[in-house]
Amino acid sequence: MKLVVLDGASLNPGDLDWSPLATLGQWHCHEHTTPEQVVERAQGAEVLFTNKVVLDRATLAALPSLKYIGVLATGVNVVDLAAAAERGILVTNAPAYGPESVAQMAIAHLLHHSSAVAEHHQAVAEGQWCRATQFCFWNRPLMALAGKRFGVMGFGAIGQAAARMARGFNMEVLVHTRTPIAELPQGYRWVDQATLFSEADVVSLHCPQTEANTGFVDAALLATMKPSALLINTARGGLVNEADLADALNRGVIAGAGLDVLSTEPPSPDNPLLSAKHCVITPHNAWATREARQNLLDIVVANLHAYLAGDPVNRVN
C-alpha cells in the first residue's frame, strides 16, 4: 500500500513521529506540494493525506488507485467531497483535536488588547519608564475584563472552551447559534446575532464558514458594535469583509481586532488589515501547539486504522 503526505510540514515540522503511519506501507512524505506536483506525487497512492493542498474533481480523476483521503485538519473544503464519493474514495477529517489551543489564542488576543503587555514592554525597552516622572505609566487605556460581555459566535468545542476561559475572568458570556439554546450555565445567555454584536464588549468568532455567512461581518454589522468593542477571529478569515473591517478600525468604529486568520493565506502584501489601526494579526497558528498537533496526528492514525479494519470513523463524505 502506497501512502503519500502532500504537505506534512505544517502538522509536523520535525517534532512529531510519523512512524505509526510510515510503517503501514510504502511511505512518501512531502513537506510542501504545489498544485502542479499533486498528480505526479500522488500517482499510484491508495492513501493520500492533505492539509491545505486542493484535491478537486480533475485531480481525483487522475488518481485511479486512490481509495482514501485523510485530511490533516478539521475543515475539508480542500477536497471535492462529491467527486470523491462518486469515485468510491472515503474522506476523513480530524475533529476537535485542539479546541483549548485555539480558544487560548482567542483569549491571548483579548489580553493583548486589554492589558497591552507587548506595547508596554516595548515602551520600557525604549527607555520610556526610565524617563517617567512617577513610578508607573501607561500609554493607552487599560481595560478590566471582569463584568464585561464576551460574545461567542458559534458554540462548538472551540467556542465553548473560549467561553469557559472568559468566565474565568468573570465575564458574562453571550452566545449565538443558529438554533436557540434554552439551557446554559450561570453567567451565559443565548442572544440573537444583532444583540450579540450590539451588546458584547468582545465578539469572538467560532463558527464554520459557509456560502451563507461568507463576509457577514461587514460595514453594516460593525457599525452596530460598541466603539470600545474588540473583534476576535480565530475561525475563518472569509467570515469577515476585510476592507470593511480595515475601514472600521481606521475610523474608530470599533476599538480593535485580533485575528489569527485571513481570507487568503499567506496574505497579499496589500491586504488592508496589515496596516489597519489597532489590528493585531497572528499567522494562523492558534491550532499549532505541539499538544494539539500530536492529538491531531493521533486522530489521523486512528482514522486510517479504523478504515483498514472496515469500520471507518470521522467520515465526511
Which residues are designated catalytic? 236, 265, 284
Q: 249: left (phi > 0), else alpha (psi -120 to 50), else beta?
A: alpha
State how beta strands 90-92 and 68-71 pair.
parallel
Is the separation of the CB atoms in 110 and 145 below 8 Å?
yes
Which residue has cell 499549532?
288
With vertex at residue 101, the alpha carbon angle to CA 315 and CA 164, rounded to the nearest 5 degrees, is 100
Alpha carbons 49 and 239: distance in angstroms, whole number? 26
With vertex at residue 32, the alpha carbon angle to CA 30 and CA 36, rounded to the nearest 5 degrees, is 100
Alpha carbons 31 and 7: distance in angstroms, whole number? 5
Q: Which residues pair with 217 in a beta bridge?
A: 240
| CA quadruple 94, 98, 103, 104: dihedral, nearest 10 | -150
* Helix/strand/coil for 92: strand
The distance in angstroms from the start CA to the end CA of the chain is 22
Is the separation of the CB atoms in 249 and 278 below 8 Å?
yes
Task: Tell me the backbone φ, ψ of residue 93, rounded to 5 degrees.
Answer: -130, -175
